[in-house]
Structure 1
Amino acid sequence: MTTFPNLAETLQGRLIVSCQAPPGDPMRETATLVRLALAACAGGASAVRVNEPEVVAAVAKSVPVPVIGLWKDGDTGMYITPTVRHAQEIAAAGAAVVAADATDRPRPDGSTFEELVTAVHAAGALVMADVSTLAEGIAAAGQGADFVSTTLSGYVPGSPVRPGPDLDLVASLSAAVRVPVVAEGRIATPEEAAGALARGAHSVVVGTAITAPTALTARFVAGLTAN
C-alpha cells in the first residue's frame, strides 16, 4: 500500500471523485473503472473513492493519488463496508482510507464501529466514517474516525431527505468535531461543491455528476420526455 503522509492536508479544499458504477451498469468493469479514475486524476482530483477489493487494488496500482476504498455488500440496511472483515480486505487491497458506514444501525457481524477503526488502523490505513446525522458524526469522531463524511444523509431513516447536498449537516459537523469533515451526497454542480467548502467542509466528494454517464443520460432523456 502506498502511503500518503499528511493526507488530511493533501485533501484540504480539494475534490475527491467517486469512481463507481451500480450493479448491471455497463461501466461496472474493473478496467473501465481504472480508466475512469485515471481520467478523474487527469482532471485534477486529489483522491478517488472506489468500491470493492478488486477495483480498489487495480486503481491503487494505477493512480498517483490516494484511494478511498469501500465495499458495498448488499443494497439495504448497513451495506457500506459493514463488517471488520470487509474493512480489513479493503485496507489489504491498497486503500489509503477505508470508508465505512458509521450510522447507529447494528453491524452484521455484531462489531462496533470502534472495533472496525482499530482493525483498519492496525492495517496501516485511515478511516472515513459515512454518517447521516450530527450525532452519528460526533460519535464516529469519538471512536477514532480520521474523517467524517455526510455520505448517508437522506439515505437512512431519521435523516432529512433533501433534493441537494445537506450543507446544514456539513456546517454542524464542522463546528462539532475536530476531524476533517467531507461533504458527499447529491453535489451536482461546481457551485454546490464550492458552497460545501464555504460551509466548513474540509474536502468534497462528487460522483454521479462526473462519473455516471448512464444516470446523466437518463436525466436528459427524462427532461426531454417531460416537455
Structure 2
Amino acid sequence: MLDLLRNGLVVSCQPVDGGPMDDPEIISAMARAAIAGGADGVRIQGVANLRHARKSITAPIIGIVKRDLPDSPVRITPFLDDVAALAQAGADIIAYDATSRARPVSCAAIVEEIAKHGCLAMADCSNMDDAKGAVRDGAQIVGSTLSGYTDETADSGPEPDLEFVEELARLDAFVMAEGRYANPDLAKTAIKAGADCVTVGTPLTRLEVNTALFRAAISQVT
C-alpha cells in the first residue's frame, strides 16, 4: 500500500461542509477525477462519502471522520466506533488526530483499533512530539497535517511547514506532507524536503474557496 503512494499525490476530496458539492455522488466524482488526473490516492471525510467512493475507485483511500466535540478540540477520527465504521466502508488507511490534546480515546487505543481492522494508521501531527508518540504507538504514516492548526502552532504562517517535514523524514515512518500546499511547486518542494507523499485539498476540491479568492482580487480593482 505504501509503495503505491511513495513519491505520490493524494487528493483530499473534502468540499465545504454543507455546500452544494457536499454530496456523496459529487465527492465520488471528485475522487474519480483526481485519479484520472494522476492522483495516487484520495482522502475522504465521512463514512457515507467513503463508502460511495469505494464503489468506483480501487486506489488507496485515506478515511477520516470529523466531529465537533463539546469537551475536546480533537476533530479527526476521535472514537473507536469511527475507526470501525471507516474500515467497514472500505478505507485502506485511517487517519486520526495524534496530538496530545484532551481527547475521548487515547491515541494508542485508536491505532490498536485501526490495526485490528487490517488498515494502516496515519497520524495527523502538529509537532515532533506527536509524531514520535505515533511511531511508538505503531502508526505507519506520520503527517504534518495539523501544523498550524493547534494553539501551539497557530503562528507557523501561511506557508507549509517544510521544516517539520524535514524533521519527520528522520523518523522510521512513511511521511505525508499535508497542509497549505497551494501550488505544484510547493508540493514538489515537500518531496525534496523528504516527504514520501503529498496531500493536497483546498486548491483542488474547494470550489467556493478558490472562487472567492478570484472574486476578491477582481473586486480590488473594480
* TM-score (norm: length of structure 1): 0.93
Residue 90 (structure 1) aligns with: 86
Contact 2:16 2:208 (C-alpha < 8 Å) held by counterparts: no
Distance in 2 between residues matched to 1:226 and 1:98, nearest whole Å: 42
The one-letter amino acid of 2:135's match is A
Distance in 1 between residues matched to 2:190 and 2:142, nearest whole Å: 14
1:170 and 2:181 aligned: no
Distance in 2 between residues matched to 1:155 and 1:35, nearest whole Å: 28
Q: C-alpha displacement at 1:144, in angstroms?
A: 0.6
- Per-residue CA distance 1:91-124 (angstroms, 9 max, x = gap): 111100001100001222xx21111111111111
Distance in 2 between residues matched to 1:47 and 1:38, nearest whole Å: 10
Distance in 2 between residues matched to 1:178 and 1:188, nearest whole Å: 27
Sequence identity (%): 37
- Per-residue CA distance 1:32-81 (angstroms, 9 max, x = gap): 00000000000010000000000111111211201100001127710110
Q: C-alpha displacement at 1:225, in angstroms?
A: 1.9
The one-letter amino acid of 1:115's match is A
Aligned length: 218
Contact 1:83 1:107 (C-alpha < 8 Å) held by counterparts: no
* TM-score (norm: length of structure 2): 0.95
The one-letter amino acid of 1:163's match is P
Contact 1:52 1:72 (C-alpha < 8 Å) held by counterparts: yes
Q: C-alpha displacement at 1:21, in angstroms?
A: 1.4
1:49 and 2:43 aligned: yes
Q: Which runs of 5+ in 2 are unaligned?
A: none
- Per-residue CA distance 1:159-179 (angstroms, 9 max, x = gap): 14221111110001111x101
Q: C-alpha displacement at 1:223, in angstroms?
A: 1.3
> Partner of 2:68: helix, strand, or coil?
coil
- Per-residue CA distance 1:138-171 (angstroms, 9 max, x = gap): 1111111110011111000111422111111000
What is the alpha-carbon root mean square deviation over aligned residues? 1.2
